Amino acid sequence: MFLLLGLCWWHLTGVFSEKLSVMEGDSVRLQTKMTKLHEDDNILWTYSKSLIAKISMEKQIFSTFDGPDDRFRGRLKMDKQTGSLTITNIRLEHAGEYGVKITGEKLTKISFGVSVYARLSSPSITRECSSSSQNNCSVVCSVVNVSAVSLSWYKGSSVLSSIIVSDLSISLSLPLEVEYQDRNTYSCVINNTISNQTTHLDINTLCQPCPDEDLHLFNIVWICAAVGSLLILVSAVMCCISKKCRKTVHNCEEDQSDSTLCKEKSRKKKSDMQAVYCNVPKRR
Ligand SMILES: *[C@@H]1O[C@H](CO)[C@@H](O)[C@H](O)[C@H]1NC(C)=O
Ligand SMILES: *[C@@H]1O[C@H](CO)[C@@H](O)[C@H](O)[C@H]1NC(C)=O
Ligand SMILES: *[C@@H]1O[C@H](CO)[C@@H](O)[C@H](O)[C@H]1NC(C)=O
Ligand SMILES: *[C@@H]1O[C@H](CO)[C@@H](O)[C@H](O)[C@H]1NC(C)=O
Quote the CA–CA distance of 175 and 129 in Å, as a whole number: 12
pLDDT digits (tens, 9 = 90+) for 39-97: 999 999 999 999 999 999 999 999 999 998 999 999 999 999 999 999 999 999 999 99
For the chain, give every domain's residue range.
10-117, 124-209
Closest residue by Cα to atom 13, ligand 3, is 133
CB 136 within 8 A of CB 181: no
Ligand sitting nearest the alpha carbon of 193:
2
pLDDT digits (tens, 9 = 90+) for 227-248: 778 887 878 778 667 776 565 5
- What pLDDT does 262 receive? 44
10-117, which class in CATH? mainly beta
- Is pLDDT at 135 greater than 50 in this prediction? yes
Quote the CA–CA distance of 117 and 85 in Å, as a whole number: 20
What H or E segment, with its residue span, contains residue 110? Answer: strand 107-117
Tell me what the pLDDT averaged over the chain comes to. Answer: 82
Closest residue by Cα to atom 9, ligand 2, is 193
Count the alpha carbons within 13 Å of 84 in the hemisphere toward its beta carbon.
14
CB 23 within 8 A of CB 195: yes
Quote the CA–CA distance of 44 and 37 in Å, as a whole number: 13
Mark out the alpha helices in the chain (DSSP H runs): 2-11, 203-206, 211-254, 259-266, 270-283
Phi, psi of 16 (to 5 degrees): -125, 160
Q: Give me the long-range contacts of 161-167 (CB less than 8 A, separation at least 24).
A: none
**186-191 β-sheet, strand order:** 158-165, 149-155, 186-191, 196-201
Confidence of residue 283 (pLDDT cuts 50, 70, 90): very low
Quote the CA–CA distance of 106 and 37 in Å, as a whole number: 12
CB 265 within 8 A of CB 273: yes
Q: Tell how far the Cα of 145 is from the centroid of ligand 1, in angstroms.
A: 6
| 178 close to ligand 3 (CB < 6 Angstrom) | yes
| 169 close to ligand 1 (CB < 6 Angstrom) | yes
| 242 close to ligand 1 (CB < 6 Angstrom) | no
Report the SS3 class of residue 78.
Answer: strand
Report the SS3 class of residue 55.
Answer: strand
Quote the CA–CA distance of 258 and 210 in Å, as a whole number: 69
Name residues contacting ligand 2 (CB within 6 A): 148-150, 164, 191-193
| Fold of the domain built from segment(s) 124-209 | Immunoglobulin-like (2.60.40)
Distance of CA 60 to the CA centre of its chain: 51
Quote the CA–CA distance of 250 and 282 in Å, as a whole number: 18
- What pLDDT does 100 receive? 97
- Fold match, 10-117 / 124-209: yes
DSSP bridge partners of 51 = 46
- Is pLDDT at 210 greater than 90 in this prediction? no
